[in-house]
Amino acid sequence: MGETALASQKIDPAIANYKLSVKNSTRNQKQKGLSYLRLADINFKYKTDYIQAKKYYDSTLLNLSPVYPGYQQILKKANNLQLLASRFQIIAQQDTLQALAKLPEAERTARINLLVDQQVIRQENAPVEVNPTINNGNVINSASRTSSSFYFYNPEAVNQGLVSFLSVWGKRRLEDNWRISSRTIATVNNNPNSVSDPDVVQNVQAPLLSAPGAATFKQQLVNSIPVTPALLQQSNQIILNAYADIAGFYRDILGDNPESINTYEYLLKRFPENNNLPVIYYSLYRLYTDEHNQPQAEKYRDLLLKNYPQTQYAKAILDPEYGKKMLT
């Protein structure tokens, strides 16, 4: 019944049926694992609740055999889901701030007061802060405004990543080696002794974390709203960086080229004019090449060569020996 409901996009009934399947699968561990997997995917794709999705993926791994097809893919997603969670939270946060900036002042003030009230309720009811982008009440992670591990902001990382790819380009088949950047993703420890059902309330007293008062939080929120063109541009850059990290995560960590393509294409649709078009075009060129979609690969190849012929990405396409030259 869960499959039928999900196929009909009836998400809540599907969740209820999969939870019932988990509860009733007392002897069939594989079935329980598959039901957890569906719950994980639903929370990941439809609910965008990456914290809960992570728990369900962990439960999936505890109940499925390591030889189950796709087990390693599930393991990668579970271990690295925090990166996706943090980037999507950054995007949602910036979208909220931009929406506030567009409101008339009176309505904006009312919305801000509502957000402050919600934050106070969260602090009272949830002793552990689970949102890494609003840690200890900071509305904006200060690091996200000033620095980034994302390679658009790091020319050295771009060069290192490209050299790494070009150093092996031509030695193996094209689809085997084309990574632009290397990413270090913090993995989450999987504890085999943990309770496998994420819906079970754990009898553990979590440590209390300090949090600012309502007045402080409100001031931080007000200060973070992009009400000037410069602040809006900065906010858009943060969103762009987050989407590009997501696209890179799908490509480099999960090996999910179609989802990476979808993310890059959405990024271009939302930000058709941005300073990172050469690397985006190059990424799409390589992705579509790997997917054997030559028309789309040629489209982005031509855009790169026509508009950015002097970039290292264009040179890498035109000259297979470019990587060797960079290494000497």
What does the pLDDT read at residue 159? 37
Spatial CA neighbour of 82 closest among 190, 196, 220, 157: 190
Helices within 46-70 (DSSP H only): 50-63
The Cα–Cα gap between 315 and 324 comes to 12
Q: Does residue 264 contact residue 283 with C-beta atoms inside 8 Å?
A: yes
Contact 140, 161 (CB under 8 A): no
Q: Please give the Cα distance from 52 to 218 (Å, whole number).
A: 28
- 182-200 per-position pLDDT tens digit: 332 233 333 433 445 666 5
- Residue-wise over 109-128: b if at least 16 C-beta within 10 A, else e? eeebeebbeebeeebeeeee
Cα–Cα distance measured from residue 188 to residue 178, given in angstroms and rounded to the nearest whole number: 27
The three-class DSSP label of residue 172 is strand
The C-alpha angle 305, 289, 46, rounded to 5 degrees, equals 110
Digit-by-digit pLDDT tens for the chain (328 residues) are 667 777 777 788 899 999 999 999 888 999 999 999 999 999 888 886 777 888 899 899 999 999 999 899 889 888 878 788 788 889 988 999 999 999 999 999 999 888 888 888 877 775 444 333 333 333 333 333 333 333 333 333 333 333 333 333 333 333 333 333 333 223 333 343 344 566 654 433 333 334 567 888 888 889 999 999 999 999 999 999 999 999 998 898 878 899 899 999 999 999 999 999 999 999 999 999 999 999 999 999 999 999 999 999 999 888 877 766 665 5
Rounded CA-CA distance 13/18 in Å is 9
DSSP string, 135-167: GGG-SS-HHHHH--SSGGG-HHHHHHHHHHHHT
Specify the pTM. Answer: 0.61
pLDDT for position 283: 95
The reported pLDDT for the residue numbered 1 is 66
C-alpha distances in Å from residue 153, one per residue of 86, 103, 147, 165, 236:
18, 31, 7, 19, 14
The string of DSSP codes covering 291-324 is TT-HHHHHHHHHHHHHH-TTSHHHHHHH-TTHHH
Residue 169 φ/ψ, nearest 5 degrees: -65, 130
Report pLDDT for 211: 52
Report residue 59 as tokens: 């439960």
Asked whether 281 and 308 are in contact (CB, 8 A), the reply is yes
The H-assigned helical ranges of the chain are 2-7, 11-24, 29-45, 50-63, 71-102, 105-125, 142-146, 155-166, 214-224, 229-248, 257-270, 277-290, 294-307, 312-318, 322-327
Amino acid at the residue 312: Q
- Give the span between the Cα atoms of 290 and 175, in whole angstroms: 5
In 3D space, the residue among 71, 56, 70, 66 whose CA is nearest the CA of residue 196 turns out to be: 56
Which residues are bridge partners to 26 per DSSP?
Answer: none
Pick the closest to residue 260 from 241, 277, 243, 274 (CA basis).
Answer: 243
Strand-pair partners of 172: 169
Strand partners, 169: 172
**What DSSP state is assigned to residue 191?**
-
Cβ atoms of 68 and 33 within 8 Å: the answer is yes
* Interatomic CA distance for residues 226 and 239, integer angstroms: 13
Does residue 169 sit in helix, strand or coil?
A: strand
